[in-house]
Homo-oligomer: A and B are copies of this chain.
Amino acid sequence: MISEKMSALARNNSVIRAMFEEGKLLAAKYGSANVYDFSLGNPNFPPPESVKNAIIGVLSDTSAANIHGYMPNAGFPEVRAAVADALNARHGTEYASKNLVMSVGAAGGLNVALKTLLNPGDEVIAVAPYFVEYGNYVRNYDGSLVVVPARAGDFQADAAAIGAAVTARTKAVIINSPNNPTGVVYTESTIREIADVLRAKSEKSGSPVYIISDEPYRELAYGGVRVPWISKYYADTIVCYSWSKSLSLPGERIGYLAVSDECADSAQILEAAAIATRVLGFVNAPSLIQLAVARVLGEEPNLSGYAENRELLYGGLTKLGYECVYPEGAFYLWVKAPGGDDRAFAEAAKKYNILLVPGTSFAGPGYARLAYCVAKETIERALPAFAKLAEELRL
């Protein structure tokens, strides 16, 4: 009796769930310490203590009715003003409260942005490999996802390929840097090239192609690598941010949309995004956590911990003969499947209690994703298992 769209989703879901269930079975059989689960992007480091203090601070100095009551669908004006100030200080931008719509995480924000922009049949371009939910989000609004491969080798977005994929129906390009699943950070020149291409296309057609910048990993860049603030290069940008990864709050569902005054139809988009927030049933981003994150905007993620994991895993695997893309951001390692078959690679790994996600799940066959947002010990204990796997695979 469920809808046809949901039936199809349930069929696909069972593949992923089967993997999850298998992981639980392995853990039950061998003990969870002997199962090396690199499959999930669930941050291992707890939120900073300041988050707890901020929540308790809000509870003690703000009236309960104000903490937990309704506010405008776009979020508390003072929270949006604080976020705008923090962005301006960091990026030299000129956001104000009105340029922000608080969202139910980046996933909620992406849905709000797509609901705001898409007519049925409109196209949205994504760069493969990509976070698999993009397709579902776009189809929620009867749009169609057009997939353009990243550049072979370095997995930077390919501006020329994006340009070639733009049609009269193209409404937006989703950019995700630092990238899930590759860990690649798009360079300034990549962003400039994409901006130039899209500007030319928009001018030619007379209607803007928006960039939707999905940025849950913005602060997760290592070794001083800079993550360009895209709307400084391309005005028609909708930023979708989330504190899920930077503050390890993925369960709380808190993020924002940012649209600058320079963006085409900025005021209309911001008004529509607030209405979409209401109409899609989000109503508003959760209130207590809105007030809490506004008090910890200077907080930095646990970069050193993830950086340590990155060195350990990348160093360990390359030494064993695995080919990996050196990740400059996020907490994912993109590993070439020895022999080229990523599903076979994942199956072989499972024999050694290693859980990783075949690249096919991200429209990136021939590779696999390892999430290294795990305890350091998991990596340390996993390396001998990877060594045995390398032996089996004759690396």
Is residue A189 within 8 Å, beta carbon to beta carbon, of the partner chain? no
In the complex formed, the residue of B with least CB distance to A288 is B252
CB distance from A6 to the nearest CB of B (A): 4
Q: Which of A28-63 contact B (CB under 8 A)?
A: 40, 42-47, 51-52, 55-56, 59, 63
Measured between C-beta atoms, what is the minimum distance from A183 to chain B in Å?
A: 20
Contact: B69 with A9, CB < 8 Å?
Answer: no
Alpha-carbon distance between A6 and B42 when the two chains are bound, in angstroms: 34
**Bound Cα distance from A40 to B65, whole angstroms:** 14
Question: Judging by beta carbons under 8 Å apart, are B105 and A208 in contact?
Answer: no
Residues of chain B contacted by A13 (CB below 8 angstroms): 271, 275
- Determine how close the nearest CB of chain B comes to the CB of A231; give it in whole angstroms: 16
The verdict on A168 contacting chain B, using a C-beta distance below 8 Å, is: no
Q: What copy number does this chain have within its complex?
A: 2
Residues of chain B lying within 8 A (CB to CB) of residue A248: 64-65, 68-69
**Does A287 contact B207, Cβ atoms closer than 8 Å?**
no
B107, A251: Cβ atoms closer than 8 Å: no
Q: Mark A252-284, 1 if CB is under 8 A from B, else 0.
A: 110000000000110011011001101111111
- Closest-CB distance, A206 to chain B (whole angstroms): 11
Name the distance in Å between A237's Cβ and chain B's nearest Cβ: 13
Would you call B140 and A142 a contact (CB within 8 A)? no
Q: Is A80 an interface residue (CB 8 A)?
A: no
| CB of A289 closer than 8 Å to a CB of B | yes
Residue of B nearest to A287 (CB): B251
Min CB–CB distance A374 → chain B (angstroms): 12
What mask results when residues 284 to 298 of chain A are scored 1 for a CB within 8 Å of chain B, else 0? 101111000000000
B52–A2 contact, CB under 8 A?
Answer: no
A116 at the interface (CB under 8 A from B): yes
Smallest CB separation, A218 vs chain B (Å): 19
> Residue A111 at the B interface, CB < 8 A?
yes
Determine whether the beta carbon of B279 is less than 8 Å from that of A116.
no
Q: Contact partner of A275 among B10, B141, B142, CB < 8 A?
A: B10
A108 CB–B CB distance under 8 Å: yes
A115 to B287, CA, bound (A): 25
Q: Which has the most chain B C-beta neighbours within 10 Å: A6, A116, A141, A142?
A: A6
Interface residue from B116, B142, B210 paired with A6 (Cβ < 8 Å)? B116
**Which residues of chain A from 76 to 129 have a CB within 8 Å of any chain B CB?**
104-105, 107-112, 115-119, 122
Residues in B with CB closer than 8 Å to A117 are: 1-3
User: Known: A2-B269, A10-B268, A119-B3. Contact between A253 and B56, CB under 8 A?
Assistant: no
Asked whether, in the complex, the Cβ of B40 is within 8 Å of the Cβ of A70, the reply is yes
Question: Which of B59, B122, B271, B280 is the one whose CB lies under 8 Å from A280?
Answer: B280
Decide if A133 is an interface residue (CB 8 Å cutoff).
yes
Q: Name, among A68, A116, A253, the residue most crowded by chain B CB atoms within 10 Å (CB to CB).
A: A68
In the complex, 12 of the A-B residue pairs with CB atoms within 8 angstroms, ordered by the A residue number, are A2-B117, A3-B116, A5-B119, A6-B116, A6-B272, A43-B69, A47-B64, A55-B55, A70-B250, A105-B281, A105-B283, A251-B287
Residues of A within 8 A of B (CB): 1-7, 9-10, 13, 40, 42-47, 51-52, 55-56, 59, 63-65, 67-71, 104-105, 107-112, 115-119, 122, 133, 136-137, 140-142, 207-208, 210, 248-253, 264-265, 268-269, 271-272, 275-276, 278-284, 286-289
